[in-house]
Amino acid sequence: MYGAALVVAASAGYRSFLGLPDIGLPDLTWPGAGILLAGSVVAAAAVRPWGRRVPPRAVTAGAWTVAALALTGSCWVLLNLVELVLTGSVRSVDGDSDWVTFGERLCLAAVGALFAATALSYARRTAGRCARCGRTHAPETAGLRYPEAHAAPPAVLRTAYAGCCAFLPYLTLHTLGAAGYPGIEPGGYRPPWYALAALVCGIALALFLLLGLVRPWGMVFPRWTPWLAGRRVPRFLPLVPVWLVAPTLALYGTGSLILAAAGVLRDDGGGGVLGLGGAASLAFAGYGWALAVASVSYQLRTRPSCVVRR
């Protein structure tokens, strides 16, 4: 339906899909509509009988491709949500109300999540594995067994720690700006100390979420959590916010660095790539990619196994 609606809009002359022309990027209205329509065919092949005639690898690859492209297109939805909470509105880079673009990004985020789930479920079914646990076993089961709490592999731990350190240049520059050093903040702005304290608290919460994905206490509530200590952490509790945040930050930070280095994005007075703007992009990209890696590891480590009846 989304693809068909976009075709109708493109035929009527709509050329502002995702607000890309507003920031100097090519219009992707027709390509976006084509990808969504192709995705509908892939989704139908995953559930309809005629889809058995299509090679399973082609269906799985198509579903993952649509999911990846949709999540890429929704990469600014988190910033829109933050803006909506803080200001009660969503605006474009020119300051105009931009609810249509916000709705497009929300729809693409939902499309990406649904296609990722479709690809995973289809791959398991075609491989003869259980759709719930992803393993091969007899059909008679008696519930699920969850793994014991344990830390992520060393490589994932190092990635998570690197993601934590990615905030250091950004926080250092804001601290220097709050201390009165000139040339750091755009327009000579000097952030008040309470704003810096709020930033520190926000970063601390972000690091808490990231470390919870790689440490044992992210699987079982630790002793310092009243009424919950020793209980298993529901998998959706960290993963839902993570998969909302990670694609946005990773793609936004990486894209901002690339576009700023290429001269596409105009300098906002924050020193460009080597200044506050570059430090912010580095923090978003580093944290976002580390969050994505840690979340995949968390999903695999916490994945339950079916208890097979004897």
Residue 304, number of CB atoms within 10 A of its CB: 16
In tens, the pLDDT along 39-49 reads: 888 888 888 88
- Measured CA to CA, the distance from residue 14 to residue 8 in angstroms comes to 9
pLDDT at 281 over 60: yes
Question: Is 0.85 surpassed by the pTM of this model?
Answer: no
What confidence score (pLDDT) does residue 230 get?
83
* Confidence category of residue 5, pLDDT binned at 50, 70, 90: confident
pLDDT at 179 over 90: no
The closest of 143, 139, 119, 117 to 130, measured between CA atoms, is: 139
- Measured CA to CA, the distance from residue 295 to residue 271 in angstroms comes to 33
Residue 107, number of CB atoms within 10 A of its CB: 19
DSSP SS3 for 188: helix
With a CB cutoff of 8 Å and minimum separation 6, the contacts of 252 are 75, 76, 78, 79, 281, 284, 285, 288
SS3 content of the chain, % helix, strand, coil (to 5): 65, 5, 30
Give the CB-side neighbour count of residue 273, counting CA atoms within 13 A. 12
Q: What are residue 145's DSSP bridge partners? A: 305
Average pLDDT, the chain: 81
* Confidence category of residue 255, pLDDT binned at 50, 70, 90: confident
Structure tokens at 265: 């994005």
In tens, the pLDDT along 207-254 reads: 999 999 999 999 998 888 888 888 889 888 888 888 778 887 888 888
With a CB cutoff of 8 Å and minimum separation 6, the contacts of 167 are 203, 206, 207, 283, 286, 287
With a CB cutoff of 8 Å and minimum separation 6, the contacts of 106 are 74, 77
Kindly report the CA angle at 162 between 157 and 167, in degrees rounded to 5?
A: 135
Please state the rounded mean pLDDT for residues 196-217. Answer: 90
In tens, the pLDDT along 57-92 reads: 888 999 989 988 888 887 777 777 767 766 777 877
- Measured CA to CA, the distance from residue 88 to residue 83 in angstroms comes to 7
What confidence score (pLDDT) does residue 295 get?
92
- Measured CA to CA, the distance from residue 164 to residue 126 in angstroms comes to 39
Q: In terms of pLDDT, which residue wins out, 136 or 103?
A: 103
Dihedral, CA of residue 97, residue 98, residue 103 and residue 108, to nearest 10: -160
Structure tokens at 180: 């009165």
